Amino acid sequence: MALTSEAHVAFCNEGAIGRITLNRPKALNALTEEMCAAILDRLRRWATDPAVRAVVIDAVPGKAFCAGGDIRAIYDAGRKGDGSVMSFFRTEYRMNAAIRHFPKPYLALIDGITMGGGCGVSMHGPHRIASENAVFAMPETAIGLFPDIGATFFLNRLPGGIGMYMALTGVRIGVADAIACGLATNSVPSHDQPVLLQRLTESEAPEAILSELGQIPLGVGDMETHRPAIDRAFSASSVEEVLARLEREGEWGRGTASLLKTRSPTSLKVTFRQIREGATLDFASCQRLEYRIMTRMMDAPDFYEGVRAALIEKDQSPRWTPGGLDKVTDGDVECFFSPLDDTEFTL
């Protein structure tokens, strides 16, 4: 077994598999540009290596599989105002595309918190294997951003109003809901995941192994319980109408409406349009759309205010600009979607 480590991510060739292990537990395995670049480079090499029959990504034991991108590093780079922050997103998006188009089986062993960029390194592969500890979320609107990393594409593949619900609210869901909506393809207890790894090293087909391993007793998750209400509310034609419909959905609906009212109004309106537009776009077009939006988000105030409130001063009381949905105009939203002059995203 050959092992190398680059910027908090370890790689090894173990039998028939190439293995990627996220190894930044104190930061909940948050992704840096160096980590994304190293994963991208390794995937390109393994794609043509006949000794590698499949690739597995996992994380060192701890609370998280991957909590997303390194938000504080992105904040600091964005504050420079020189455009360099977009280098992280270009690298991350290219890594996401490499995962989606990887020519061999790609398996994500999801054991712990999985948010934002953590979904990016798992959702684009065909085998998304969640343990009983898995928790999923796209929480970007809470910090003045929007769900990127290809979420425009994969959230639109979820049933009913679930994609829009997760995108706007940022709620966390467990393994039962993840399996029910298709974010996760399999549930395997954490104690059985080493067995899965071992059998993969022996060149067994992933489908055959997964059909034999024990499954987690799932029950019905909270999100699935509220599916009818989610579908009714989040099929509305505007964020304002989503809120109005939620108010008619009893205690759960009123609580969800209250949650939405804490999110960045600009993020909510941009995200709503993003998800609606993504329903008709292919993966590459979704990535290009996300890059346009992110370029403008890095020049807007809400991301920096959201990070200040959540991570720097930690007062949990962001002061959004503007402060209400009624003050975010169609023109304001349109600015996030217009083509870039000479810096469109490309692979």
- Between CA 138 and CA 107, with CA 122 as vertex, the angle to 5 degrees is 160
Task: Give the C-alpha separation, 278 to 150, whole Å.
Answer: 10
| Catalytic annotation, pick one of 15, 18, 116, 117 | 117
Active site residue 69: yes
Burial code (b: 16+ CB inside 10 Å, e: under 16) for 216-248 equals: bebeebebbebbebbebbbebeebeebbebbee
Q: Which amino acid is located at 79 in the chain?
A: R
Nearest to 275 by CA among 94, 136, 146: 146
| Catalytic annotation, pick one of 70, 148, 177, 302 | 148
Annotate 130-144 with DSSP letters as a single string: E-TT-EEE--GGGGT
Dihedral over alpha carbons 103, 108, 114, 119 (to 10 degrees): 10
DSSP state of 64: E
38 in helix, strand or coil? helix
Active site residue 240: no
What tokens does 50 get? Answer: 């006949």
Exposure of 115 in the CB half-sphere (CA atoms within 13 A) = 25
DSSP state of 142: G
| Catalytic annotation, pick one of 15, 18, 68, 69 | 69
Helices 86-100 and 283-297 sit at what angle, rounded to 10 degrees? 160
Task: Give the C-alpha separation, 253 to 202, whole Å.
Answer: 49
Task: Give the C-alpha separation, 134 to 179, whole Å.
Answer: 11
| Catalytic annotation, pick one of 140, 177, 249, 290 | 140
Nearest to 105 by CA among 208, 34, 10, 183: 208
Nearest to 289 by CA among 151, 166, 187: 151
Return the active site residues.
69, 117, 140, 148
